[in-house]
Structure 1
Amino acid sequence: MDIYNFLNVLDIINTEKGETEFSKIRSSYGVYLERTGNFMVRGRVNSGEITPEQGIKLISLGRRLNKESIHITTRQDIQFHDISKEELKITAKELEELGFSVVGTGGNTIRNIVISPKSGYENEEFDVSVHVKEVSKKLKDAGIKNDFPRKYKIAFSNNETDDINAQINDLGFIAIKKNDIKGFKVYGGGGMGKNPRQGILLQDFITEEEVYVSITAMAELFNKYGNRENKHKARIRYILDNFGETKFKEEYLKLFFEKSKEKDLKLNLDNSSNKFEYTNKENLYLHPLHGKLKINDLEKIIIFIKEIKYKTKIRLTNTQGLYILGLNKEDKKKGEEIFYDLYNQHKVLSLTACTGASTCTLGFLKTDILVKEIIEFLKTKNEKVLEILPNIGISGCINSCGQHLIFPIGFMGKKRKTENGNQLDIYEIFLGGRRAEVLKIGESYGDIERSKIKDFLFYLGEKILESKKDYQTFVDENKIEIENFLNYFK
């Protein structure tokens, strides 16, 4: 796969041959058909970082495309929506030139490697951004493949808090040190969507130079044993389910030790770049509504950063937000005031939600409607309820792009027919999920009509306040009570 092949296809897209070839390969280049007949185009943001220079050019591209916003994804990518067929070439070409390649951002490829959003700017084992950048470079140099049985997702966490959820990826690395030597715990076989599961521990320590060996070993295992007949059972977690933990681990380790003999698979790390000591310890989290970062807001962020005279960084998160990293206290306070509309003090108002059926052809429900209903309703309510309710994840269908399964509160979209044949917007409720430290997949509490969700959330918040407990303790200890009052909303 390479960008030039794709651009050549876009040159002849209006011919029969070009249309046929485009339809075959477009998803591997992050181009997906939307309900309007136009397209979504996804760009890979290496280690989630956007430099001021990239930001300025991204703003220029967005304005030339007449876009109000850029969408931030849960894999630290960016997306432009509603791109016409005529705009595809300039969008893909300029994203490539900016360093946000469309190659391998969709289809059966190794997707963007996600990274702990504050890596390098918080207490950690070590900064893993250097590893992600080096692995991404090796993948690009080797030529990103699009012939896996399905997508292949990788994550790097900078400490055992695991805020990036490495344990629920196809392959996850968690930074640790052993006898003062940098390395990683390795997890494999995790994933969300249908039949979700947490990955298993494959290796309790590999050196930092061996991560690409591990990635290559898992890729070979995937190619060798992945299901190419049924795409719904083709992800790596199904190999784990079929083999069982013992055989899966044995097969992986056999391939790992074979690959470890190949010298060109070892990372050649420039550890000087891994010795950066941040001076300022304040990080400002900004969360645009529904992950839609307005072009004008991005411009304000770039201006704000360029006026700062010390080293800082923008990094996208896997919750559809972004951090301005490495600020001093004064500048963080200033940022909170400047970006008031993007700075939510309350977790429950920083919802993460997939794009939903407004654009996605797979989504059942328009998640933007639910996001708006929740925020507008809760903003008018008791401040203490806002303080106690946790983060929410929303997916428009079972595919889990909104990561609803690992949020404390999650909603998954469904459709249900009434007796008179009308369609009802229904969400399945998941409670008790945990995104970090002790990762946990949320438990289903049944279905609820979309129109009743905002009232349910407020009532849940009031019940937690009455109990004088935190959210997680309340959910863990009051399952029957929650089921009983949920019946009222059903």
Structure 2
Amino acid sequence: MTTDTHDVDRSTDLSQPLDRLGPDETLKYNSDYLRGSIDQGLLDRITGGVKFEDNKLMKFHGIYQQDDRDIRDERRRQKLEPAYTFMVRVRLPAGVCTPEQWLKIDALARAHGGDQIRLTTRQTFQFHWVVKEDLRPTIQGLHEVLLDTIAACGDDARTVMATANPEDSAVHAEVAVLSKQLSDHVIPRTRAYHEIWYGEQKVATSEEQEPLYGKTYLPRKFKIGFVVPPSNDIDVYSQDLGFIAVSGANGLEGFNVTIGGGMGRTDNEPRTYPRLGDVIGFIAKDRLLAAADAIISVQRDFGNRKERARARFKYTVDDKGVEWVKAEIERRMGAPFEPTRPFEFTSNGDVYGWQRTDNGRFNYTLFIENGRIIDRPGKPLLEAIRAIAHIHRGKFRLTPNQNLIVADVEAGDRAGIDAILAEHGLAENGRTSALRLNSMACVAMPTCPLAMAEAERYLPDLIGRLETLLAAHGLADEPITMRMTGCPNGCARPYVAEIAFTGRAPGKYNLYIGGGFHGERLNRLYRENIGEPAILEILGEMLGRYARERAAGEHFGDFVMRSGYFAEPA
């Protein structure tokens, strides 16, 4: 943890009466700065789980309690408790890690995480299947290579994202450094994490322990990301707070700032919705921390703490109004925003294979379908990347699209990496369809408690059937963004995809179409609660029309929005 302090205007009274707070807010207030009874619960061997309240608090520590839903009903019939395990998420600003850190992640996955690693849509690692008694060894193992899980989940500013461009420039490198600096700046200051997981001595607590967050932290999760145009790989408009890099003759000058993005929604609840962020102006790069503190503090003080479904920053922005929120941010920053600087996005996908960087080295982007790294027959992915980590002298970068960049490779080291990829059946980027390369899915079944349908385990098969349709229409090489989640919460950022599915029930999905190719436009609901036969029929007709009627260079999302699929304009 860093020791810098937060210089934030705390003039707004945060001490709301407890009877005006929702249950989660009261829980946080009474938690002794996220300690709760987690320490005692970890010692309880009668159950594989933890108390309801401690499960909520453990999210701030980067940990979610889950259970194996494939066997949940059988265990219920046998009068057994659910097969509890835990998901552990690493805090990894900008998705950058060293080979040494990768080898530790690999070892922990083999020891405690079911021999698999997941790369998330926020550029970090997740372990699944971690049993309760392995939580401390896992977190302490991460600590050995200077990694932690602080604020990877919970009502706080989560892992900070940054564009992972395989061509890598000085601007990208500086933005990655700034994202790490900001992440360290906004993580909670409570010593609870060190006491519970590292065994450090408990210290006295006070309001000064959390100068940015206070006793109730934020009303909901708060997502931050940096993006370097023309790539919008982090989907900056989906972030609560986004920083769009602006460069000049002397390199990085500052950032255009976006506020109020967010993907989550609740089915049959029109007061919840996905929202794209608003660009509110430009800041010089030396104003970064002041701007972040001011924006986070506005959400802290004015976010909805009574109705959790309406507690994200996007609702604060809509309820108060963009101009009001902007003025309040400026007041707290002590300076106005400058006018927005020009920028342009052209895609939000990854560029695969070898790319030469500005410094004369090379990066290799490896496609990791839905971010799942596991050894399969004929394709031992976990083993292959471990072999690369043993010889690699640069860094690894996780992308916002769940892929992996072997970064900063000397020209003479390329052959060794190519040999490992070929030996393990992974030299296939050029043989993977454009649709699959631009797809993404959340974990969903069997571990996510919110999932109503499959995602990660089903999307590859659905894409295989759609690839046949694309080939029949001459569209095999056409990039189309497709995303699937097991519920409406939007972890794979489905609402900005050209084609998206959100789970409603086993085998049933809502179908959304018409998102912008580079994340600049929300898609729209086209059909509700449909299964695979209807999906293939609907998309087969659309893809046929697209092949016949599209304009030169027109993306699929743009085509469907102008082609009469919706009765009223967007």
TM-score for both structures, normalised by structure 1: 0.82
Displacement of 1:251: 0.8
**Residue pairs, 1:361-380, within 5 angstroms:** 361-378=449-466
Displacement of 1:40: 1.4
**Residue pairs, 1:325-404, within 5 angstroms:** 325-327=407-409, 328=411, 331=415, 337=422, 340=426, 343=429, 345-350=432-437, 351-378=439-466, 383=471, 384-404=474-494
Displacement of 1:248: 1.2
Question: Are 1:189 and 2:260 an aligned pair?
Answer: yes
Counterpart of 1:167 in structure 2 is 237
Counterpart of 1:273 in structure 2 is none
Q: Structure 2: any 5+ residue segments left out of the alignment?
A: 1-31, 69-83, 191-209, 266-272, 338-356
Deviations 1:61-117 (A, max 9, x none): 111126231111111121111222222222222233333312111110110001101
Counterpart of 1:414 in structure 2 is 504
Contact 1:13 1:19 (8 Å CA) reproduced: no
**Correspondent of 2:524 among 434, 440, 443:** 443
CA distance in 2, matches of 1:301, 1:433: 34
Deviations 1:8-60 (A, max 9, x none): 45643448998476335212112222232222111112320121111111211
Counterpart of 2:308 in structure 1 is 231
Query: Match for 2:433: what amino acid?
Result: H
Contact 1:394 1:402 (8 Å CA) reproduced: yes
**Correspondent of 2:397 among 268, 293, 315:** 315
Displacement of 1:294: 1.8
Contact 2:513 2:523 (8 Å CA) reproduced: yes
Query: Match for 1:356: what amino acid?
Result: A
Counterpart of 2:372 in structure 1 is 292
Counterpart of 1:158 in structure 2 is 228
Query: Structure 2 vs 1, CA of residues 368 and 119 (structure 1 numbering), >3 Å: closer, same or farther?
Result: closer
Counterpart of 1:267 in structure 2 is none
Counterpart of 1:93 in structure 2 is 140
In structure 2, the residue corresponding to 1:223 is in which secondary structure?
helix
Question: Are 1:12 and 2:82 an aligned pair?
Answer: no
Counterpart of 1:53 in structure 2 is 100
Contact 1:349 1:375 (8 Å CA) reproduced: yes
Deviations 1:312-336 (A, max 9, x none): 4311111111122345596586676
Contact 1:126 1:158 (8 Å CA) reproduced: no
Question: Are 1:304 and 2:388 an aligned pair?
Answer: yes
Contact 2:483 2:501 (8 Å CA) reproduced: yes
CA distance in 2, matches of 1:226, 1:3: 20
In structure 1, the residue corresponding to 2:448 is in which secondary structure?
coil
Counterpart of 2:276 in structure 1 is 198
CA distance in 2, matches of 1:13, 1:469: 64
Contact 1:30 1:103 (8 Å CA) reproduced: yes
| Higher mean C-alpha displacement, 106-115 vs 344-353 | 344-353
Query: Match for 2:426: what amino acid?
Result: Y
CA distance in 2, matches of 1:80, 1:478: 38
CA distance in 2, matches of 1:454, 1:99: 47
- Taking only the aligned residue pairs, the percentage that are identical comes to 24
CA distance in 2, matches of 1:99, 1:3: 22
CA distance in 1, matches of 2:397, 2:38: 28
Question: Are 1:476 and 2:558 an aligned pair?
Answer: yes
Contact 1:10 1:18 (8 Å CA) reproduced: yes
TM-score for both structures, normalised by structure 2: 0.71
CA distance in 2, matches of 1:480, 1:199: 23
In structure 2, the residue corresponding to 1:386 is in which secondary structure?
coil
Deviations 1:184-206 (A, max 9, x none): 111111111121222122222x2
Contact 1:168 1:190 (8 Å CA) reproduced: yes
Query: Structure 2 vs 1, CA of residues 231 and 458 (structure 1 numbering), >3 Å: closer, same or farther?
Result: same
Contact 1:125 1:177 (8 Å CA) reproduced: no
Query: Match for 1:34: what amino acid?
Result: Q
Contact 2:67 2:449 (8 Å CA) reproduced: yes
Counterpart of 1:82 in structure 2 is 129
| Higher mean C-alpha displacement, 139-148 vs 57-66 | 139-148
CA distance in 2, matches of 1:66, 1:254: 47
Query: Match for 1:280: what amino acid?
Result: R
Query: Structure 2 vs 1, CA of residues 4 and 152 (structure 1 numbering), >3 Å: closer, same or farther?
Result: same
Equivalent pairs, count:
456
Counterpart of 2:292 in structure 1 is 215
Contact 1:320 1:352 (8 Å CA) reproduced: yes
Contact 1:285 1:322 (8 Å CA) reproduced: yes
Contact 2:102 2:389 (8 Å CA) reproduced: no
CA distance in 1, matches of 2:230, 2:496: 17
Query: Structure 2 vs 1, CA of residues 3 and 315 (structure 1 numbering), >3 Å: closer, same or farther?
Result: farther
**Residue pairs, 1:99-110, within 5 angstroms:** 99-110=146-157
Contact 2:515 2:523 (8 Å CA) reproduced: yes
Counterpart of 1:38 in structure 2 is 85
Query: Structure 2 vs 1, CA of residues 96 and 469 (structure 1 numbering), >3 Å: closer, same or farther?
Result: farther
Counterpart of 2:350 in structure 1 is none
Q: Structure 1: any 5+ residue segments left out of the alignment?
A: 261-275, 416-423, 485-490
In structure 1, the residue corresponding to 2:263 is in which secondary structure?
coil
Counterpart of 2:197 in structure 1 is none
Displacement of 1:125: 7.2
